[in-house]
Structure 1
Amino acid sequence: ADYSVDIPAAATSATPEERTRELVRFEMALSARVLRYAHDAQSGRVDPNRMTGYYDFPAKPFDLEGALKTLAHTQEVRTYLESRHPQNPEYQALRVELEALEASEENEIVLDPKLLLKPGESSPELPKLLTLIARNLDDEMGGNYGEVLARLGKSEVYDPELVPVIKAVQQREGMKGDGVIGPRTVALLAGASKADRIEKVKVALEELRWLPSDLGSPRVFINQPAFTASYIDDGEEKLKTRAVIGRVTNQTAFFYDQIKQVDFHPYWGVPQSIIVNEMLPRLRSDPGYLDRAGYEVTDSRGRQIPSSEVDWGAYGSKIPFSVRQQPSEANALGELKILFPNKHAIYMHDTPQKSFFARDMRALSHGCVRLQDPRGMAAAVLGTSVDDIAEKLKHGHSTENVTRVIPVYVAYFTAWPDMSGKVEYFDDVYDRDSKLMQALDATEAVRTPSS
């Protein structure tokens, strides 16, 4: 409906003047719809920056006059319009996936996506889950658990004998294997419904139109719903590491930038929000704790003062002091950070909280992206070896600029193809997909009346 145009009837009793006016109106409507399509294919159907502050993308200039001139002088209109879409393998893989989904049947076995089942509990969903597991047993799993599944496969009670089966399946799928059957286990084994997957792919296609058509090589790609960060060069994923992203209350933005530098043994400038919300309550009763914990306190004139000498009880939401943590093993940024200056103050960094990477749901930070393998990522962007990074770390605080052009995408895709083109699906941890679908539906509703 967004792009449809009513074609004038071939047979008409209109006068030549009326017929001319009718054709002129048709030509203007056709031109407007073609330009709308070309713009939407290049830049997306909605303006993401108007939806939420968590979307931050530069405008994509579109030469309306140039597009009309090109269309007026070419016989290859379809080819031109197709060229307005992103020209990268990821976009093509998602289009192929959408076509396959729309032609496919619904999943034969559909499980409750919100199922939560612990040992000893019962659910009518359990036999369906066990059926899916039994269908996908390899030789090793079949040898270890085939008999148990054959005997208890129709049970609605989560028998203790089934716990090792569930743990093994979870570990095979990359989970930590706690034996609790929850939404993530269900999603990995049963997949999302057909309608769910179609929505995720449509959202992903729209989001890809916000990005450059050529994503660049080399590049760093962080996919927040997957909790991963990758270094991709010449069509190969040279590094893939687990990542921690912002909590739901401190969401990581969706934007792209360019990597500029790596800081070794960095200082951490504590954001005002953390000073006010997390440090201030303790400072009111223990004003010297920042001194003991290796933090520096600086006043508005740049003078360093002991934390113990500040009357922290006199301040509320506005603190006239800066706080930074000195380089150390306890530093919140760990041993290095990778910077791509942006208005969101987001960067990649190491962390002393290594245990977070063992969790399946890793939306746990204040907004920055923590890496399980920061040395590997630093080596990749600097074009050197991990051994060289280890050597640099022996010499205390230092900074090294990145001399190559390396775009970084701090992205948010709940459907995304791997390097082979297979589309994987992820939970919408920030509940952004539904809001984008609402915006797309609203766009179509607004456009439809003005034919």
Structure 2
Amino acid sequence: MNKKFGLLVVSMSLCVYAGFTTVRANHEAPPAPERAQVVSEIQHLLSQSPHTNQFNTLRKAYAARDFEPVWVARSGAGARLDALHRRLAKADTDGLDPRRYSVPSHNGLLPSAESMARVELAAALNFVHFAQDLRAAGADAAKMRPPQSKVPGGVDAATLLENASNAADIYKYLEELSPQHHVYQGLKASLHRYRQLRTAGGWAKIPNGSQLKPGQKHPHIVFVRERLFATGDLLEDETYSDQYDDQLLAAVKTFQRRHGLKDDGTIGPKTRAAMSRTVDERIRQILVNMERSRWLPNDLGSRFVVVNVPGYWLEVFDGARLALEMPVIVGKKYRRTPIFSGNINRIELNPYWGVPDSIARNDILAKLKEDPSYLEGLRVYMKGTGYPALELDRYDIDWSTVSSARPFMYYFRQDPGPQNALGQAKFLFDNPFNVYLHDTSNRSLFAKQQRALSSGCIRLAEPIRMAEYLLSSQPGWNRERIDDVLAGGANTRISLN
């Protein structure tokens, strides 16, 4: 988290309730302030507050509700403030640091309109800050995201406060501020489980040694069994056995798939290293993934696709049910697949490939400079980018004189066919990066463990299965019709309902 922002929040919170004093329970409480006095004090304190984004947001939000308080009741702190205290105190269950949220303590009695207003605004600041953190909408979260990313917009403070004010069950409302989709909730459950594992002592490191294969007996098998039982990959507690049996093989393969390793059941150096990562390392990994999952829309829809970019894996969900999964190829280190979300709205069978400008300038041009016949047999045609855009013969151009600088003067398009870089299918959705899912003509790359090999788009290992699933609810479409269209070779575009 950005320390500068954290300090700014603390200093603003102190500004709101500096000088606040509580009334001890064994003292006689003064008369409760009139609500109009509290409203007036809230308005006054906000008018005197710094002109920062946080206070400007709060001024606008309270003005929209005529400066009526949300968190303090007429007689003092009230149930809403108590609920906020309890929820902020367990912020760590969402992987957030409770120390970031500083609502002043109280004993239920507030002696004056001013003290009530100060506590009200301190609570509101920390409430909005907490909600922003849970929706990855704050300044800290924005700095954690990669440069190429597009995530849902921020949270509106006025709406948050109004919803909190109207909530019949305020604690339930505060609980449901966190993303409710199963991706996030699954990570939240994992965080709890791994913290329990840490309390219990974690697991032992797998000793270095030779490869362990099914059927072997070896003292290190006991360590493997203990490790996999701890994380639930091995369901039965037979950690005493040094035999690599079929049950252990299934557990090892599950572990390898979960960690992006080749699931051959052989326990070699990479699998040993992954098993030996400490529970603290795994907790840090869960925390990072919880932050990333906060970048997703809160409502993922009834059917959705999740691409795990660093894991080279795609999953399709129908509600909470895993309907389909497959390996994928993602962007290279210098052409990363961006982080974003969008609705798949069209499938193209036997697609054309309109070569992106960056690939044309940086890849194809370099190859044409070396060999003007490079595109021979690939069914690629080219035209100028001027008006009118006329089709050109690549042999009429002296490529050695062509610059890769923008604006590039040529556009390339590849016709459907066996050589097409997009293979037999592509899946389109609205996004500002011109990224989509597609097949590939080079299927051998799926045999690699590290599959950051594309120019940013996501290549699917089983695109026709994906098409069949997405079209299963589309009238008139089934696997037989898909196969007929592919065999015919004609470019076919299907809009999804």
State the TM-score, normalized to the length of structure 1: 0.71
Aligned to 1:132: 223
Aligned length: 371
Sort the Cα spacing of 1:359 and 1:286 in 2 relative to 1 into closer, same or farther, 3 A.
closer
Write the letter of the residue equivalent to 2:268.
Answer: I
Q: Please tell me the residue identity of whatever aligns with 1:312.
A: W
Q: Deviations over 1:166-199 (max 9, x none)?
A: 9x96699451649683435531xx1632222222
Give the counterpart of 1:305 among 392, 396, 411: 392
Partners of 2:267 and 2:321 lie apart in 1 by 35
Give the whole-Å Cα distance in 1 for the aligned partners of 2:152 and 2:469.
Answer: 27
User: Per the alignment, do residues 306 and 199 of structure 1 end up closer, same or farther by CA in structure 2, a change over 3 Å counting?
Assistant: same
Please give the per-residue CA displacement for 1:132-182, whole angstroms capped at 9, x wherever unaligned.
Answer: 3465799xxx9xx967x8xxxxxxxxxxxxxxx99x966994516496834
Do 1:337 and 1:350's aligned partners in 2 also have CA atoms closer than 8 Å? Answer: yes
Q: 2:118 maps to what in 1?
A: 25
Letter in 2 for 1:309: D
SS at match of 2:342: strand
Q: Which amino acid in 1 is paired with 2:410?
A: F
Q: Does the C-alpha gap of structure 1 residues 380 and 182 become closer, same or farther in structure 2, counting only changes over 3 Å?
A: same
Change (3 A) 1:322 1:180: farther
Alpha-carbon distance in 2 for matches of 1:292, 1:118: 49
Structure 1: unaligned runs, 5 residues or longer: 120-126, 150-164, 405-451
Are 1:288 and 1:306, in contact at CA under 8 Å, matched by a contact in 2?
Answer: no
Matches for 1:13-162 after TM superposition, within 5 Å: 19-45=112-138, 46-48=140-142, 51-62=145-156, 64-72=157-165, 76-104=169-197, 105-110=200-205, 130-133=221-224
CA shift digits 1:224-258 (9 cap, x unpaired): 12222222224322211111111112110111001
Cross-structure match for 2:422: 333
Counterpart secondary structure, 1:337: strand
Partner in structure 2 of residue 158 of structure 1: none
3-state SS of paired residue (1:308): helix
Q: How far, CA to CA, are the matches of 1:250 and 1:184 in structure 2?
A: 28
Q: Which amino acid aligns with 1:217?
A: S
Contact 2:380 2:415 in 1 (8 A): yes
Q: Find the aligned partners of 1:365 and 1:118 in 2 and give their Cα distance.
A: 34
In structure 2, how many angstroms separate the alpha carbons of the residues matched to 1:134 and 1:86? Answer: 35
Deviation at 1:324, TM superposition (A): 1.6
Q: Does 1:377 align with 2:431?
A: no
Tell me how far apart the structure 2 counterparts of residues 236 and 75 of structure 1 sit (CA, whole Å).
Answer: 32
> Is 2:345–2:428's contact at 8 Å kept on the other side of the alignment?
yes
**Residue 297 to residue 66, structure 1, CA distance change in 2 (3 Å):** closer
Over 3 Å counting, the alpha-carbon distance change for 1:366 and 1:66 in structure 2 is closer
2:496 to 397, 403, 411: 403
Amino acid aligned to 1:108: W
Deviation per CA, 1:374-424: give whole Å up to 9, x if none: 0010111122433321111122232333333xxxxxxxxxxxxxxxxxxxx
Deviation at 1:70, TM superposition (A): 4.1
Q: How many angstroms does 1:200 deviate by?
A: 1.9
Structure ID, larger Rg: 2
SS at match of 1:244: strand
Q: Deviations over 1:81-134 (max 9, x none)?
A: 11211122332222222122223234331359xx8x888xxxxxxx99654346
In structure 2, the CA distance between the partners of 1:277 and 1:29, relative to structure 1 (3 Å rule), is same
Distance 1:231 1:304, change over 3 A: same
In structure 2, relative to structure 1, the CA distance for the partners of 1:83 and 1:169 (3 Å cut) is closer
Change in 2 beyond 3 A, CA 1:324/1:362: same
Work out the CA distance in 2 between the residues paired with 1:192 and 1:385: 45
The amino acid of 2:204's aligned partner reads: I
Among 337, 347, 353, the residue aligned to 1:252: 337
TM-score w.r.t. the length of structure 2 is 0.65
The yes-or-no answer on 1:214 pairing with 2:299 is yes
CA displacement 1:265-297 (0-9 Å, x = unmatched): 112122232223322233123223224432111
Q: Which amino acid aligns with 2:169?
A: E
Structure 1 equivalent of residue 486 of structure 2 = 393
CA distance in 1, matches of 2:177, 2:221: 46
Which amino acid in structure 2 is aligned with residue 32 of structure 1? L
Hey, what does 2:455 align to over in structure 1?
Answer: 366
Aligned AA (1:211): L
SS of the equivalent of 2:310 reads helix
CA-based RMSD of the aligned residues comes to 3.8
* Aligned residues of 1:88 and 1:214 also touching (Cα < 8 A): yes
Q: 1:298/1:50 Cα in 2 relative to 1: closer, same or farther (>3 Å)?
A: farther
Structure 2 contact 256–271 (Cα < 8 Å) conserved? no
The 3 A distance-change label for structure 1 pair 178 and 284 is farther
Matched ranges for 1:166-177 at <5 A: 173-174=256-257, 175=262, 177=264
Residue 75 of structure 1, CA deviation: 6.4
CA 295–210 in structure 1, closer or farther in 2 if over 3 Å, else same: same
Distance 1:44 1:129 in 2: 47
Counterpart amino acid of 2:293?
L
Residue number in structure 1 paired with 2:364 = 279
Could you tell me which runs of 5 or more consecutive residues in structure 2 were left unpaired when the two chains were aligned. Answer: 1-5, 34-110, 212-217
Q: Structure 1 counterpart of 2:122, which letter?
A: A
- The answer to whether the 8 Å contact 2:328/2:451 transfers is yes
Which residue of structure 1 aligns with residue 325 of structure 2?
240
Post-superposition offset of 1:74: 5.0
Do the aligned residues in 1 keep the contact of 2:330 with 2:458 (CA within 8 Å)? yes
Contact 1:329 1:352 in 2 (8 A): yes
Distance 1:345 1:146, change over 3 A: same
Give the aligned partner of residue 447 of structure 1: none
Q: CA deviation at 1:44?
A: 4.4
Q: Does 1:324 align with 2:417?
A: no
> Which amino acid letter does the alignment assign opposite residue 310 of structure 2?
P
Distance 2:490 2:271 in 1: 41
The AA in structure 2 aligned to 1:9 is T
Counterpart in the other structure of 1:315? 402
- 1:289–1:307: 8 Å Cα contact kept in structure 2? no
